[in-house]
Homo-oligomer: A and B are copies of this chain.
């Protein structure tokens, strides 16, 4: 297949998503695979990439710009972190040696922070994508997920950021802890908002409030849908408490899965804030394009 100018790829722990980009800077096609970093050893990445994208490359040479966990220590090749405060669009990227000489593969760095220690891989590219469309943005960007990220952004730079294990703790608690016996299907919006306020206002009680959900179930006082929503709300309320000093007057920009962003938006409203959602896939692609542009500049 001809016409591919370069390939943009978001290679996370669980999935790979890539776009064949045309000479005009717009994507020609998009492909997805479940061969995420977590399923591959370092010497399997090139084959996995060619399996899904080989026919897009033609005779080459073909630039490939990758963000995400493919750059982790256990990934294809480790891409050193850039250290915040810094621009989220990398000035340099890590070149990946390939057997296929048509490929010019580079992996973008993640961001790290020394105090408090923190890291991200992939989310910085979504932030860069948002800034590509709003270069003067001054505020906070929240990227919900298994590990949600909150980044204070101004002057085109990530000034500071913080990761919360909320999603992972929700999953572990809902499926592995004593609470698993009390969690039901469904969702209770009022219970969720009530619990957000509770977690936000009294975060020190979170580990007893969690047990109290189990006790309420044993005593026949709460149903499974309510307990599921309360568990989520409590943990999200604690996150909002821990992130509040990053927040500014304006709306929080949410970049993530739509259903998760909707929960975060609701939670932020509970504590008196506002939020707006940006499309996560669009931000990733815009960030990869911005990175490719910047890498090209540096080559000229």
Contact = CB atoms under 8 A, between A and B. Distances in A.
Interface of A: 73, 81, 112-114, 116-119, 147, 162-166, 168-169, 172-173, 176-178, 200, 202-213, 215-216, 218-219, 221-222, 235, 238-239, 241-244
A117 B221 contact: yes
Contacts of A202: 242
A27 B290 CA distance: 77
Contact of A203 (B119, B178, B203): B203
Given A117-B215, A118-B212, A216-B117, A204 B207 contact: no
B207 A169 contact: yes
Contact of A210 (B165, B219, B221, B244): B165
Given A176-B176, A219-B119, A208 B168 contact: no
A215 B164 CA distance: 12
24 contacts: A81-B219, A112-B218, A114-B221, A116-B209, A117-B212, A117-B219, A118-B211, A119-B215, A119-B218, A163-B212, A165-B210, A169-B177, A169-B207, A172-B172, A172-B173, A172-B176, A202-B242, A203-B203, A204-B241, A205-B242, A206-B242, A207-B235, A208-B242, A208-B243
Nearest to A213: B117
Nearest to A202: B242
A165 B178 contact: yes
Contacts of A178: 147, 165, 168
A65 to B, nearest CB: 23
Nearest to A236: B207
Contact of A166 (B147, B165, B207): B207
A88 to B, nearest CB: 17
B239 A207 contact: yes
Given A118-B208, A206-B242, 15 more contacts: A112-B219, A113-B215, A116-B215, A117-B215, A117-B221, A118-B211, A163-B211, A164-B207, A165-B178, A165-B211, A172-B172, A172-B173, A172-B177, A203-B204, A205-B241
Contacts of A116: 208-209, 212, 215
A238 B164 contact: no
Nearest to A74: B181
A114 B219 CA distance: 8
A177 B204 contact: no
Contacts of A200: 204
Contacts of A165: 177-178, 207-208, 210-211
Given A178-B147, A241-B204, A164 B117 contact: no
Contact of A215 (B118, B206, B213): B118
